[in-house]
Amino acid sequence: MGILERLSRLIRANINDLIRRAENPEKIIEQALEDMRATLREARMEVAEAMAELKKLEREQQSYAEQAAAWERKAAEALKAEREDLAREALKRKQQAQALAEGFAQQVAQQQDLVQRLTTQLKALESKIQESEAKKALLIARKKGLEAAEAVRRFESKIDAHSAVEAFEDMEQRIQAMEDKHAALLEMDKSEIERELERLGSNRQVEEDLARLKRELGIA
């Protein structure tokens, strides 16, 4: 199973558990990131172990290849010494070492492919974590914005429906009506003499303004 597939299953399991427990979205996001970081640490260990195994296989392959070459040289030396029996035995040993070298070469190729795939998945996981961490702040900000908007909506709803507010508005209208009625009664209570005096005062102001304008315009 690949690193990313394993991570996907782990995150789904943990998030489903949080959802069942009705956890808030912020906690779910943080849990997903923590799962990814934990998988990243595990993936790095796997890559390191795979690379170490590759080095070991390469050493084994190199060792048997060198042994095969050494038996080849010994066979040549035996023939020069006219010891065909020893040359034949050396060549048998060479074949055994060469077969082992070829077997380890196949293992090296397979391990190289594994290391390559693990490294690719590791880089993809690192990239995904960076992307998720960048999105985390935005998602949390959006969540808090929604929470604030919902709080305002609930508050406004309570205000609109509150009987005390309605009573206050009704009382304000009644007081305004009383003030209007009082002003009308005061106007009606004024005597004719008071109204005449008010008119005289108003006329006197008009005459004063007229005289001032004539002086300003130079009209005799």
Q: Residue 66's pLDDT band (boundaries 50, 70, 90)?
A: very high
> What would the pLDDT profile of 122-154 be if each residue is shown by its tens digit?
888 888 888 877 777 777 777 677 777 777 777
Q: According to the model, what pLDDT value does residue 204 have? A: 72
What is the C-alpha separation between 153 and 161, in angstroms, rounded?
Answer: 12
b/e map 132-153, b = 16+ CB within 10 Å: eeeeeeeeeeeeeeeeeeeeee
Contact at 8 Å (CB) between 79 and 87?
A: yes
For the entire predicted model, the pTM comes to 0.53
Residue 12's pLDDT is: 58
Between 55 and 8, name the one with better pLDDT: 55
- Please state, in angstroms and rounded to a whole number, the distance separating the CA atoms of residues 168 and 82: 125
pLDDT tens profile 171-215: 778 778 787 777 766 666 655 556 665 666 666 776 777 677 778
What is the mean predicted confidence (pLDDT) over 73-96? 92
**Chain segment 11-51, per-residue pLDDT in tens:** 555 555 544 554 566 777 777 788 888 888 888 898 999 99
